Every structure is written in C-alpha cells, then in structure tokens.
C-alpha cells in the first residue's frame, strides 16, 4: 500500500507538528461511551461477532481521514498511508497472554469479516506478541479489555514522541437506562490530531453503530 510523504514546508499543519512534535511533545487520550444498543441487536440477529464489527467500524473511520493515517515510516519520513488495516489483540485463555494479529481492511463488511475469520482460525492458537511475520507496515493498533467497563484509559509511550497513529482501546460494555454502552478510548498525537479530529472520530463511530443495518447486511451466513 502506498505511503505518500508530506512536504512539511507546504503542509498546513506544519506549525502544529513542530510545536507538539518537537517543542511540547504532547499526546492525549479521550474516552467516550458508544451506544451500541442497535448494533448488539442487529449483529446478534445475523450471528455476527461483536469484536470484528467494532474493529471494522474503527478501521472505517481511520480510513476516512488522513489525520488518522499520518505517521513516520520506517525511514523516518513523515507521510500518509493511502490505506490502513487494523491490528488487534486476541486473548489466550490457557496462559492469560495475548497476541496481536491483523486483517486486511475492506470497504465492505462482508469481505472484511471473512478475512477476520480466516485470520482468527490461522492464529487463534499461535503464541507470541506478533505471530504473523507477514504483517505489513500500514497497520494501526486496536486492543480490548473486556473485563473492565472503564471511564478513562491512558497509555504511556516512551519513544520520544514519534508514534503518531491513534491507538484504540475497547472496554466491557454495560447496560444503563435500557441502553448498552461501550467505553472506547483513543490516544491521539497532538502533532497530527486536534480536539476537533477526536470529536469527529467518536461522532462517526456512533453514526456507524446507529447505521449498522445497512453495512451489516450480507454476511449473515458466515
């Protein structure tokens, strides 16, 4: 997948990138509840698992906005991936460890879900942090903490502030006032994402949850 370098001198975000990337290195986390009441009902009626549906929603939003695909490549160049695929954690019940695997992004949920099922079958028993040596560089991380319905979550990354991609963490859903609410936390780098972009991220995730009947249609036989 293509990586498009950014010309810093003509980039509108240059002053923000230099300030929050060099002078005042700054990441921030935001946690919000998603109302997944309709999503839970629709996906259950189709026999679809919740986790891949959430992964698809997140990947869909990431691929809509270049701010969420801006990073440094292996050569240290600043740029934007043309498309990104989700990397996500899976839990091993036997020894209480986890692994991070990935699945190719697809605009349509059906093919994406099929790819997810194939990867899960291939790696569900594989151990190690990154068992798939073929994981491409254009992936971004999603993790799940299904044992806790948290109200806040923060990551502390010690890499000189060079990790620019958003990091998503999904918690345990809970029932509240006849609704099902799911905590989602996202860590953003202020050099490439402002509060506006965080708001867009959560707003579009909620819209996808509400509009799930349209994109869930198709893979019910899987």
Considering the candidates 92, 106, 190, 197, report the single residue annotated as catalytic.
190
Measuring CA to CA, which residue among 175, 169, 174 is closest to residue 153? 169
State whether residue 69 is helix, strand or coil: helix
> Helical H runs in the chain?
14-18, 37-45, 50-64, 109-123, 195-210, 212-216
Length of the chain: 222
Please check whether residue 90 is in contact with residue 121, taking contact to mean a CB–CB distance below 8 angstroms.
no
Q: Is 190 noted as a catalytic residue in this protein? A: yes
Q: Select from 60, 43, 48 the least CA-distant residue to 140.
A: 60
Do the strands 97-102 and 85-92 form a parallel or antiparallel pair, or are they unpaired?
antiparallel
The DSSP code for 10 is G
List residues with catalytic annotation: 190
């Amino acid at each position: 997948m293509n990586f498009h370098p950014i010309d810093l001198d003509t980039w509108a975000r240059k002053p923000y990138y230099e300030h929050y990337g060099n002078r005042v290195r700054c990441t921030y986390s935001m946690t919000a509840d998603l109302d997944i009441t309709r999503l839970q009902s629709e996906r259950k009626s189709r026999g679809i698992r919740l986790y891949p549906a959430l992964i698809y929603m997140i990947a869909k939003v990431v691929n809509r906005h270049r701010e969420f695909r801006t990073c440094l490549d292996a050569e240290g160049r600043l740029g934007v991936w043309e498309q990104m695929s989700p990397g996500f954690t899976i839990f091993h019940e036997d020894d209480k460890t986890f692994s991070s695997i990935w699945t190719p992004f697809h605009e349509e949920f059906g093919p994406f879900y099929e790819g997810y099922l194939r990867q899960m079958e291939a790696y569900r028993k594989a151990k190690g942090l990154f068992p798939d040596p073929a994981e491409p560089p254009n992936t971004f991380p999603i993790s799940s903490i299904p044992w806790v319905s948290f109200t806040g979550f923060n990551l502390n990354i010690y890499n000189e502030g060079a990790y620019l991609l958003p990091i998503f963490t999904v918690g345990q859903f809970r029932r509240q006032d006849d609704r099902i609410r799911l905590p989602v936390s996202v860590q953003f780098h202020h050099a490439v994402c402002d509060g506006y972009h965080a708001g867009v991220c959560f707003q579009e995730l909620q819209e996808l949850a509400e509009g799930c009947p349209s994109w869930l249609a198709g893979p019910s036989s899987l």
